[in-house]
């Protein structure tokens, strides 16, 4: 075999092995019952390990808007369910199932607050004290609304996930400083923020 044909064979093998990772993921996100997470249902997000706080909720950090995404603790006892809205629909339009590694919006859709903005999750400012980007709520009305698109990524444990900000499905050519969500403790509150230790979470379906 000549060097040239060996090289093209190597390229071919590389193409075949590389292609699956370029394809969009078809892995379903599963809830705590082992059922597929659906865009029509509401889910409480909880840490997989309970001593990291309770269900996800809205935190009034500063007596003003916007509200922050955080976790229940003794001072903020009420968690709210979220709805997931995929950026791109799957080939089958009847398919409402949520998949891993795909961009989606996350919304506390049941809550009404005094803040005029929506309850969609959004990447907020880089907090000067912690050097981490906090997650706030509100519509990102800049081009692409990149700040509103999160994704659910798998961990090594089944039905346990991380939440990431890396909207490369919305903008494949953008160079984002991607980050994974974790907790940030501040004055007895538990905020959700990127750029720290990732928080493993589970999705618990809200029963009607
Ligand atoms: C709280 O709000 C005040 C006034 O709006 C602002 O000056 C201050 O920086 C805010 N603090 C935090 C931690 O966001
Ligand atoms: C946030 O700020 C910290 C320190 O101020 C810096 O190290 C970090 O790179 C910043 N993060 C982003 C995403 O810009
Ligand atoms: C975008 O949002 C800001 C504040 O949330 C608002 O002041 C501005 O008018 C909005 N722009 C558009 C085009 O909606
Ligand atoms: C994931 O599984 C490993 C062992 O398989 C276990 O040690 C770890 O605690 C699990 N993580 C979570 C978040 O449950």
CATH code at position 100: 2.80.10.50
Whether 20 is covered by a domain: the verdict is no
Say what the pLDDT of residue 5 is: 55
Q: Is residue 165 part of a domain?
A: yes
Is 11 within a domain? no
Q: CB under 6 Å to ligand 1: residues?
A: 62, 64
Q: What is the pLDDT of residue 110?
A: 85
Sequence-ordered list of residues with C-beta below 8 angstroms from that of 84, at least 6 positions apart, any chain: 37, 39, 43, 98, 104, 105, 106, 152
Of how many residues is the chain composed?
A: 208
Asked whether residue 112 is assigned to any structural domain, the reply reads: yes
90 CA to centre of ligand 4 in angstroms: 31
Query: Is position 54 within any domain?
Result: yes
Distance 157 CA to ligand 4 centre (A): 6
Residue 3 domain-assigned (yes or no): no
For ligand 4, whether the C-beta of 200 sits within 6 Å is yes
Q: Which ligand is nearest to the CA of 155?
A: 4
Please check whether residue 23 lies inside any domain of the structure.
no
pLDDT score, position 75: 66
d(CA 50, CA 3): 57
Residue 155 structure tokens: 């961990």
**Residue numbers of the domain that contains 144:** 28-205
User: What is the per-residue pLDDT for 14?
Assistant: 46
Taking alpha carbons only, the member of 181, 199, 190 closest to residue 75 is 190
For a substitution probing ligand 4, which of 49, 153, 157 has the most ligand atoms within 8 Å of its CB?
157
Mean pLDDT by 10 residues, the chain (208 residues): 51 45 70 96 94 89 92 82 88 77 95 84 96 97 95 96 97 96 94 97 92
Residue 6 lies inside a defined structural domain of this protein: no
Q: What is the reported pTM? A: 0.83
Q: Give the total number of structural domains in the chain.
A: 1
């Amino acid at each position: 075999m000549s060097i040239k044909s060996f090289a093209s064979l190597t390229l071919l093998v590389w193409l075949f092995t590389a292609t699956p990772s370029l394809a969009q993921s078809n892995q379903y996100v599963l809830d705590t019952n082992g059922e597929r997470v659906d865009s029509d249902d509401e889910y409480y997000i909880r840490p997989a390990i309970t001593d990291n706080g309770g269900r996800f909720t809205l935190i009034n950090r500063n007596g003003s808007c916007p509200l922050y995404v955080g976790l229940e603790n003794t001072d903020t006892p009420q968690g709210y369910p979220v709805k997931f809205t995929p950026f791109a629909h799957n080939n089958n339009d009847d398919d409402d199932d949520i998949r891993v590694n795909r961009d989606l919006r996350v919304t506390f859709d049941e809550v009404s607050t005094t803040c005029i903005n929506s309850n969609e999750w959004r990447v907020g400012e880089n907090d000067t004290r912690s050097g981490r980007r906090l997650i706030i709520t509100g519509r990102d009305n800049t081009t692409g609304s990149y700040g509103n698109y999160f994704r659910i990524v798998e961990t090594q444990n089944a039905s346990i996930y991380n939440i990431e900000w890396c909207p490369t499905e919305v903008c494949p050519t953008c160079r984002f400083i991607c980050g994974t969500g974790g907790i940030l403790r501040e004055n007895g509150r538990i905020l959700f923020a990127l750029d720290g230790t990732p928080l493993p979470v589970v999705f618990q379906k809200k029963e009607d």
